[in-house]
Chains A and B, each alone.
Chain A
Amino acid sequence: MTLKIVDKPAKPAPVAAKPEAHAAGHGAHVRNPGFPLDLDWVERVRMNRSALERRAATLPARRSVKKEWQIAWLLKAITLMDLTTLNSDDTPGRVERLCAKARHPLTQDIIDGLGIGDLTIRPAAVCVYHSFVSTAVKAVAGTGINVAAVSTAFPHGLAPLSTRLGEIEASVKDGANEIDIVIERGMVLRGDWQALYDEVRAMREACGDAHIKTILGTGELATQTNVAKASLVCMLAGADFIKTSTGKEKVNANLVTSLTMVRMIRWFHEETGIEIGYKPAGGIASAKLALDYMALMKEELGTHWLEPHLFRFGASSLLTDIERQLEHGLTGHYAADYRMPMV
């Protein structure tokens, strides 16, 4: 397959919470420049749902981390988190509380007890509606935590394109350095790949240096083949991340859909050499489930992909469950959520 790069590669922009990890883990990371839409490639995509389900069902049973390994993996999970509040009743106060938690995700007791004072354990980003970008930017200033905005008429994505592009520009202007856009699911269902490509391409341009995560709304795409094709078209159009869900669909992230998407990321990497990030979102509330996702990434894409510039959890309540598990690991007692500082 020969692919021409549409633009010259943009200057790699740091997206990770921890610049030092960034340097160690992906010093040579090249941002996806985007490629021409290759409909032949799209048509070659094959996804077998039953086989994907079998793999997804057995994977958590094949991999298990215990004791210190479990603790270290859970700490890592925190750094892979987009700590999120996306509710209609959000207020600046609510967002400030979220950001406060992001700055101090763990109590000092846990940090001292585990002896991990040298590690910087913070979520990779906070994720909010456009209206709260400036609030968040102020609240996390100086921490290295990124601010992600869900722009483009989240969660349905059905406002006029000009409106959606304007929203992206406004979010970037307010200081968001990551933009989570939603695609129009109808384009996928109609197989209108050109339209999807053009829109995502336009959004990518509107993002400028801010990284773009494309939310597919997988729960509304009907088949794994559709999910895979939509993933590919978004990557060709220049997505930095592909993301499962808004959290508002009936079916959110799951391991089956994740398998489909990470395999498309792998294929894209094989063909282009470009590494695309993956973000499952919605319904990932337990520490155990987070570990399953991490095992999936490690197995299918390699340990290399378990860095914040290539993997994120979209999560809100996950952090509390991880804290409980860490405290249990430390004390041997089961912990209660009300004793953890709330998100």
Chain B
Amino acid sequence: MNKIAEIFASLEYGPAPEASDMAMAWLDAHGRKFGHFINGAFTPPGKTFATTNPANGQELAQVTDGTPADVDAAVKAARAAFPAWSALKGFERAKYLYAIARLIQKHARLFAVLETLDNGKPIRESRDVDIPLVARHFYHHAGWAQHLAREFPGHVPYGVCGQVIPWNFPLLMLAWKIAPALAAGNTVVLKPAEFTSLTALLFAEICEKAKLPKGVVNIVTGGGATGAAIVNHPDIDKIAFTGSTEVGKIIRAATAGTGKGLSLELGGKSPYIVFDDADLDSAIEGLVDAIWFNQGQVCCAGSRLLVQESIEERFIAKLKARMATLRVGDPLDKAVDIGALVAPVQVARIRDLIAKGVAEGAEIYEPDGQLPANGCFLKPALVTNVSPANSLVSEEIFGPVLVAMSFRTPEEAVALANNTRYGLAATLWTENVNLALDIAPKLKAGVVWINGTNQFDAAVGFGGYKESGFGREGGKEGMYAYLKPEWEKALKPASEVLGAAAPHSEPLMVSLSNHEARGANPLDGAETIPLGVDQTAKLYIGGKQARPDSGYARPVHGPSGALVGEVGDGNRKDIRNAVEAARAASGWGNTSAHNRAQILYFLAENLGYRAREFAERIAAQTGSDGTAEVDAAIERLFAFAGWADKFDGAVHNPPSRAIAAAMVEPLGVIGILAPPSRPLLGSVALIAPAIAMGNTVVLVPSEKSPLSVTDLYQVFETSDLPSGVVNVVTGPTKALAKTLAEHDGVDAVWCAADAEISAMVEKASVGNLKQTWTSRGLYYDLADSELFAGDYFLRRATQVKNVWIPYGA
């Protein structure tokens, strides 16, 4: 029988290879050896390492391992290019971004083939997903470049951005980093991943063709040490990183206290929830896109299947049948679903993880069939008989391995979905719109896909909750990652601003040092409290006045050193209790914005009744007339009452029949360390935006003037503020800040303190990668309502969740 007759009988697919000759010719044209792209030109290759095709192990080219001197040269070039680039008219920058988009489209196939050769992903994906999204990202951001001044008034670029990207979507991650940075007027030094440098180098040529000014984009290749040189470079203003949570935490610690901007897009273990009324066949197909897209090497891969018990058996049977038709093989074959993993080390790591999971009791299903003899290939795998305790369920596998569990009720589905350190993405399938829109806001993830998965668009922000990082990429929310308020650049040290003008900033220090000098008699001065009915200021935790765990009191002195009262000496256990109370009050985030507004107005009203008393208390503690400060606090409460139902989301229109609802959600529990000055307003200015947006708060008032806040909890009690929404722990700022910053139950810390405490807070925040705002010893004039009664703190009190909602009858 001839070959055609044989195929006529078998109806096999046969090979359908995409040619690689053009990509090989491009590599040859560079002598298969590359330097960096610095200041608009390729440098001579230095010490190089091989980049290989993971599908067959063959070397593609030699790439230079960037040294600190290389990084320094790139930063210098970027710094030199910054003034002119940032001063360009928006339209001029838009034209460059447009040209880059056009050039990428013109050379789309070369990019796609090169990406597949270097990374191992199927050509269908690089051709139909990665590269079109790259072009779209530059087109979209050409628009932001042009409309920057109008849409982001008062904002300026950071300056030089250091960007470090991963190997799973080499060119797409480059686009996500470079497009918004350039649109905002920054210049960049970008390091592609060690395994996948080639498309970034081809992109450098595109920048040349687009006649991008020299130094605006610099590409430095290399490994971890090169990345570290970028992260630690003193003349870089902002670091943007996509990669593992482990490295993200290292970067967070390394940048602590430096004042560098930071956005992190990290790991995930995203849930994929299937309810019993879903279109099951479509949900199966979605799962293919969720976990077998890019061999599962996707940070937002739907890697934890949660299926309703009533359909579990049928769904798993369907899934196994579908897995059998996935084609694993040569990534350049147009009819291959799963290509090669990026490197042998990844294959080995995943095999080890699977073995560990099996040892813990997991069952593995893999379809029949042979893998190619050579190359980094793995079969798609389904893991069953696991619970959240199995390491395959908790750890990010970053490979073609799906773990499956079942749930009984929507509530249990949400609990299981959120039972993870990560919070990048989530998927849910149901044909019931009520159920879908009930569940989506409850999932702690930056992206929620309803009846679909792994959908991306330049207009729709992408980024994580919890240990999946912070900052967004794409859309208006993504532009903020590359912009800062202009006034922030002009901030002066608090010591310089306050100096002699604020004598009250010193007395406590004086009195403490007096204590120390005299052996710190804790009862010292108690007899100087004016006689009357004793006032005992307590901590305020979970809606109750609580004595401090320590059983000690701290003295509060006035400007002349006289004792004006005592407050509880809070310690780490009080913080623990306060955080428990704040977490228990998380329902505050689900109350209606109108309701939150009403309570904030009522707070203002009740503070007004007692304005004189509060003014006197401020005067007693600080020596300055407190009337203006009380008035400002009332005004600020009013301001955020007004914001509560107005600072809301947007509806994006991605180029598919779907809407993406960008929902503005609270961060959760915010630990607030109020500034030393302005005992009332300093606290109110920070808690008002936090609670207006639905967060709950653990507040540490001014260390030296805490009585205004201990007075304030009586106002909370009369204003219907639910228990636990604001908790007050008085005590030493530094120690309490450390406990708050280290607490894994705290989602963010705002710290108005000196540079040392600020740096400590940023460093200590790595445990659960909480978001931080610190004043770093700079003077933020919180009385300035122009700056602080609006979006500045609102944006820091919230995170954007994009919910993709496809539609169609």
- Check if B5 sits within 8 Å of A48, measured CB to CB: no
Contacts of B13 in A (CB 8 A): 63-65, 69
**Residue numbers in A under 8 Å from B658 (CB-CB):** 50
A195 at the interface (CB under 8 A from B): no
The residue on A at minimum CB distance from B317 is A270
Min CB distance B654 to A, Å, is: 12
In-complex Cβ contact of B278 among A46, A298, A306 (8 A): A46
B16 contacts A64, C-beta separation under 8 Å: yes
Q: Is the CB of A115 within 8 A of B2?
A: yes
Q: Mark A46-83, 1 if CB is under 8 A from B, else 0.
A: 11111111110010011111111101110110000000
B751-791 vs A, CB cutoff 8 Å, 1 = contact: the mask equals 00000000000000000000000000000000000000000
Q: Is the CB of B4 within 8 A of A75?
A: yes
* Also in contact, A51 and B5, with CB within 8 A (given A58-B128, A68-B14): no
Interface residues of B in 484-502 (CB under 8 A from A): none
Contact A61–B14 (Cβ < 8 Å): no
B150 proximity list for chain A (CB < 8 A)? none
**Residue contact B451 to A72, C-beta cutoff 8 Å:** no
What is the interface of chain B mostly: helix, strand, loop, or mixed?
A: loop
Taking the complex as formed, is A13 at the interface, i.e. its CB lies under 8 A from any CB of chain B? Answer: no
The yes or no answer to A303 lying at the interface (CB within 8 A) is: yes
User: When the two chains form the complex, which single residue of A51, A116, A266, A298 contacts B286, counting CB atoms closer than 8 Å?
Assistant: A51
Q: How far does the Cβ of A157 sit from chain B's closest Cβ, in whole Å?
A: 24
Is A62's CB under 8 angstroms from B124's CB? yes
Q: Does B281 contact A (CB under 8 A)?
A: yes
Question: In the assembly, what is the distance between CA of A222 and CA of B808, in Å?
Answer: 11
Contact assessment for B4 and A48 in the assembled complex, using a CB-CB cutoff below 8 Å: no
Q: Is A28 an interface residue (CB 8 A)?
A: no
Partner of B657, one of A50, A58, A68: A50
Interface flag for B807 (CB, 8 Å) = yes
Which residues 432-458 in B have Cβ within 8 Å of A in the complex?
A: 451-452
Which residue of A53, A64, A222 contacts B334 across the interface (Cβ within 8 Å)? A64
Q: Using A61-B124, A65-B13 as known contacts, say yes or no to A50 and B7 having CB atoms under 8 A apart.
A: no
Query: Which residues of A, 15-70, contact B by the 8 Å Cβ criterion?
Result: 46-55, 58, 61-69
**Interface range on chain B: under 10, 10 to 19, 20 to 34, or 35 or more?**
35 or more
Bound together, the chains give a CA A213 to CA B1 distance in angstroms of 35
CA distance A71 to B5 in the complex (A): 10
Q: How far is the CB of A87 from chain B (nearest CB, A)?
A: 32
- Within 8 Å of chain A (Cβ to Cβ): is B410? no
> CB within 8 Å of A: which of B304-355?
325, 334-335, 337
For the complex, is B282 an interface residue (Cβ under 8 Å from A)?
Answer: yes
Kindly state whether residue B259 has any CB partner on chain A within 8 Å.
no
User: Do residues A64 and B4 form an inter-chain contact, with CB atoms below 8 A?
Assistant: no
Would you call A119 and B8 a contact (CB within 8 A)?
yes
For A118, give its contact among B1, B3, B7, B337 (CB under 8 Å).
B1
Q: Does residue B28 face the partner (Cβ distance < 8 Å to A)?
A: no
Chain A residues lying within 8 Å of B809, measured Cβ to Cβ, are 49, 222-223, 225
The residue that A48 contacts in the complex, of B1, B282, B325, with Cβ under 8 A, is B282
Interface check A263, CB cutoff 8 A:
yes
Shortest distance between the CB of A136 and any CB in chain B (Å): 26
Chain A residue with Cβ nearest B455: A54
Given A49-B808, A76-B11, A223-B809, A119 and B5 contact (CB-CB distance below 8 Å): yes
Chain A residues in 8 Å Cβ range of B452? 50-51, 54
CA–CA, A75 and B11, complex, Å:
11
List of B residues within 8 angstroms of A55 by Cβ: 282, 285
Q: A198 an interface residue at 8 Å Cβ cutoff? A: no
Let me know if A299 is at the binding interface, CB within 8 A: yes
Q: What is the bound-complex CA distance between A156 and B286, given in angstroms?
A: 37
Cα A100 to Cα B315 with chains together (Å): 49
Distance, CA A222 to CA B809, complexed state (A): 8
Closest Cβ–Cβ distance, residue A313 to chain B (whole Å): 15
Nearest chain-B residue to A121 (Cβ)? B8
Find chain A residues with CB under 8 A from B277 CB. 46
**B21 close to A (CB within 8 Å):** no
Q: Which of B4, B806, B808 contacts A68 (CB 8 A)?
A: B4
User: Is B5 a contact partner of A61 (Cβ separation < 8 A)?
Assistant: no
**What are 7 A-B interface contacts by the 8 Å CB criterion?**
A49-B809, A51-B451, A68-B3, A68-B4, A69-B13, A73-B11, A263-B281
